[in-house]
Amino acid sequence: MPVIAVIGAQWGDEGKGKIVDLLAQKAAVVVRFSGGDNAGHTVINPHGEFKLHLIPSGIFSPHAVCIIGNGVVINPAVLIDEIEQLDKRSVDTTRLFISDRAHLIMPYHVLLDGLEEQLRAGKALGTTRKGIGPAFTDKAARLGIRTGDLSDKEVLLERLRFVIDYKNTILTKIYGVSPLSLDEVYRQYCQYGKRLAPYIRETTIMLEEALNRDEVVLLEGAQGTLLDPDFGTYPYTTSSSPLAGGACLGAGLNPTKISRILGVFKAYCTRVGSGPMPTELKDETGELIRELAHEYGTTTGRPRRCGWFDAVAARFSTRINGFTGAAITRLDILDALPRLKICVGYKLDGETIEHFPGSVAALDRYQPVYEELPGWQTPISNIQQYEQLPIEARQYIARLEELISCPVNLISVGSSREQTIFKTPIF
Ligand code: GDP
Ligand code: IMO
Ligand code: MG
């Protein structure tokens, strides 16, 4: 049985939550493997509408064990609130587990995320200010505190005493803000530890057991490939790897086990926060897409920048991740548009390139080269068979398939589970 990684193929918000919720109905385990509560995964299903930041989107599937993997940074207050919100709405959270190796977001991480952004002024990254960058910085600097540390109060106090001293020096001497109280943070995190204790454990064994039983495992990506710190538009990226490669590390799974890699692409492009986006539309078409699609951030509410499908970036995404198939989401949003454009190259001084450059300065200078296709101008949200899509929609999908160089497995034409067209089998 396959292990399927579901990966954001653009700048995040591609509709990963919808796809994972859909596929999780057949899965035994669903693991979130990267990011933190910078993610906002919308799920609309018979239980209602949910915006999940940390809990895997498989939580609605009655048989799926859901794991927050070691690669996720966890703000315990956000997680506890998310658990309680689900409990209130009668969604069973007893199948939720948290890796004891996952790092915690601490109050100084959230503070520093905001202060660092202020300091960057005109060069701000547009982070979600959830403390993600500072938490991953501490992980690499070996200053992190992990969920497993919460179970031993003495270890926690000793570790926290050292780290808070260090952070308070930065807060007071560099940023001139008030220091944090060791006592308060310690007491607060002891409470979190008590509340989360039933969920925290060694989770890689659970994965191994599921694989031994030959069950379907889903690896739920957060963010998107072009936000990857190595292959995204650095420095305008996030701080952990949303890639298929990151899935192995962040879930605690050996790389030979992943059998399918599903790239989730929006039928156009969006981006929240700063950084280059070659196909961004700063005109009325961009605004029309934003309003039609209600493109506002799930986590921060910020308006998303909207633009045409960028096949140069998409092909790069396929290559870096090794997509075995694609899910194209929000095709229905394009219903109203008479003409559609796809970016097939980048142009500068009469020269056209077809690869995605590593430098943001270069990306800023390039102009997109577009191919135009006719729109279908008819509603498609209720269509369930590929053959029933208007010819123009099929042409659009066929062209995307060709350009991104992997088969389209499914097409999403609405936010609910049944608004999905299965084109070719995922496995
Ligand atoms: P994620 O972060 O990748 O899970 O995506 P978000 O939840 O942040 O944003 C995707 C948005 O698109 C959500 O509001 C979904 O409900 C919605 N959505 C997903 N698929 C479709 C689709 O095919 N059509 C429409 N109209 N909305 C969709
Ligand atoms: P999902 O999982 C879209 C963006 C932020 C910012 C940059 C860095 O819902 O697709 P960070 O707070 O991570 O340091 O911010 O990354 N970003 C996302 N954009 N979807 C997300 O997650 C994102 N997570 C982070 O907007 O530009
Ligand atoms: Mg999102």
Residues 70-82: pLDDT tens digits?
999 999 999 999 9
The pLDDT, as a whole number, for residue 297 is 87
Any ligand 1 atom below 6 A from CB of 245: no
The pLDDT, as a whole number, for residue 299 is 81
The pLDDT, as a whole number, for residue 263 is 98
The confidence band for 427, taking pLDDT boundaries of 50, 70 and 90, is confident
- The burial class, CB within 10 Å (0-12 / 13-18 / 19+), for 201 is middle
Q: How far is the CA of 13 from the centre of ligand 1 (A)?
A: 7
Locate tokens 């938490």: which residue? Answer: 135
Three-state secondary structure call for residue 285: helix
Atom 13 in ligand 1: residue holding the nearest Cα: 42
Total Cβ atoms within 10 A of residue 9: 30
Reply yes or no on whether the pLDDT at 1 is more than 90: no
Residues 14, 110: Cα–Cα separation, whole Å:
26
Residues 402, 12: Cα–Cα separation, whole Å:
22
Atom 27 in ligand 2: residue holding the nearest Cα: 273
Q: How far is the CA of 241 from the centre of ligand 2 (A)?
A: 12
Any ligand 2 atom below 6 A from CB of 305: no
Ligand 2: atom nearest CA of 242 is 2
The confidence band for 195, taking pLDDT boundaries of 50, 70 and 90, is very high
Give CA torsion, residues 69, 165, 38, 46, to 10 deg. 60
Q: How far is the CA of 200 from the centre of ligand 3 (A)?
A: 25
- Which residues pair with residue 369 across a beta bridge? 345
Residues 104, 189: Cα–Cα separation, whole Å:
10
Tokens of 325: 């198939």
Any ligand 2 atom below 6 A from CB of 45: no
The pLDDT tens digits for 244-300 are 999 999 999 999 999 999 999 999 999 999 999 999 999 999 999 999 999 998 788
Any ligand 1 atom below 6 A from CB of 14: yes
Q: Which residues are catalytic?
A: 13, 41
The pLDDT, as a whole number, for residue 284 is 94
Atom 8 in ligand 1: residue holding the nearest Cα: 13
Ligand 1: atom nearest CA of 420 is 23
Q: How far is the CA of 300 from the centre of ligand 3 (A)?
A: 10
Return the best residue to mutate from 37, 129, 139, 238 for the ligand 2 pocket (most ligand atoms within 8 A of CB).
Answer: 238
Please say whether the beta carbons of 260 and 427 come within 8 A: yes
